[in-house]
Structure 1
Amino acid sequence: MIYVDADACPVKAEAEAVATRHGVEIAFVSNGGLRPSHNPLVRMVYVAEGPDEADKWIAEQCGAGDVVVTNDIPLAARCVEAGARVVKPNGERLTAANVGNALATRDLMTDLRAADPFRQGGGKGFTKADRARFRDALERAMRG
């Protein structure tokens, strides 16, 4: 099973294509606002409004052998702990070996942004190369 933290996920179409190629069910989990797919392998899961409701649902459902697509580092840590393989939309794999560092970096960046309220964005745009890296990483994750 593939679980996608879908509210702000830029690679939903790519994830669905990989799931279809492998004949694996995929769940797009969100607070709503996503168009249903006609693909019989796609399950739309709408959770209650509120912070982290989709994250809570995914963390409770996923387990060994599942793949989770998310940019949310705390969710990724919970999923890795449950035995799932985690892929970020940019193609980065989060594993037991690196998710702790990712959490620490996230916390540090949160503290830096809080210390400088005038610091704005600075993130890069999402590119075709990011999409290609994601597809490749998800294919590898599907194989184990």
Structure 2
Amino acid sequence: MSSMIYVDADSCPVKEEIISLSRKYKKDMVFVFSYAHNMNLPEDVKTAVVDTDKEAADLYLLQHVKRDDICITQDHALASLLIIKGVSALSPRGHIFTEEEMNGLLQSRYASQKARRAGKKTKGPTKFTEEDRITFYRALENKLAQQEFS
């Protein structure tokens, strides 16, 4: 069975790029989103509509992805769990998550959450740019090309 591309789609800014590359490399894709985020997607895009619970999309992805699949997500915690399963996890900015960096990313995430709970202001992500979009496209295309030749 061929690997698939899964997308944590609720706030994914690179849907068009994913669809384009999935078609180019003839990969099935599944966009996972809550019913509160109604999306108009082309007919060849499979969807999984989940509840609005905070972790519903994550749980769906954890239950359905398998080794050698690709998952696009901004969620560091989800990415850390996917990597353990042998899934390639990419951010919409084109960052390919690695097991080696996960401890630091999760520690930083925890520290920021703790600071916010204590009433401190923390920096959010920088504005998504056209350069981020291009970086993502190249990263996903490289990953798909690697899979094609392995």
TM-score, L = length of structure 2: 0.87
**Which position in structure 1 is the counterpart of 2:80?**
77
**Which position in structure 2 is the counterpart of 1:27?**
30
User: What are the residue-to-residue correspondences of 1:1-144 with 2, within 5 Å?
Assistant: 1-32=4-35, 33-38=38-43, 40=44, 42-117=45-120, 119=121, 121-142=123-144, 143-144=146-147
The residue type paired with residue 128 of structure 1 is E
SS at match of 2:39: coil
SS at match of 2:6: strand
SS at match of 2:108: helix
The residue type paired with residue 97 of structure 1 is E
RMSD over equivalenced CA pairs, Å:
1.5
The residue type paired with residue 96 of structure 2 is R
- Unaligned 5+ runs, structure 2: none
- Unaligned 5+ runs, structure 1: none
Cα gap change, 1:122 to 1:83, in 2 (>3 Å) = closer
SS at match of 2:99: coil
TM-superposed CA distance for 1:7, in Å, is 0.3
TM-superposed CA distance for 1:121, in Å, is 5.0
TM-superposed CA distance for 1:63, in Å, is 1.7
Runs of 4 or more, structure 1, over 3 Å off, are 120-123
TM-superposed CA distance for 1:122, in Å, is 4.6
* Identity between Structure 1 and Structure 2 (%): 28
TM-superposed CA distance for 1:113, in Å, is 2.1
TM-superposed CA distance for 1:141, in Å, is 2.1
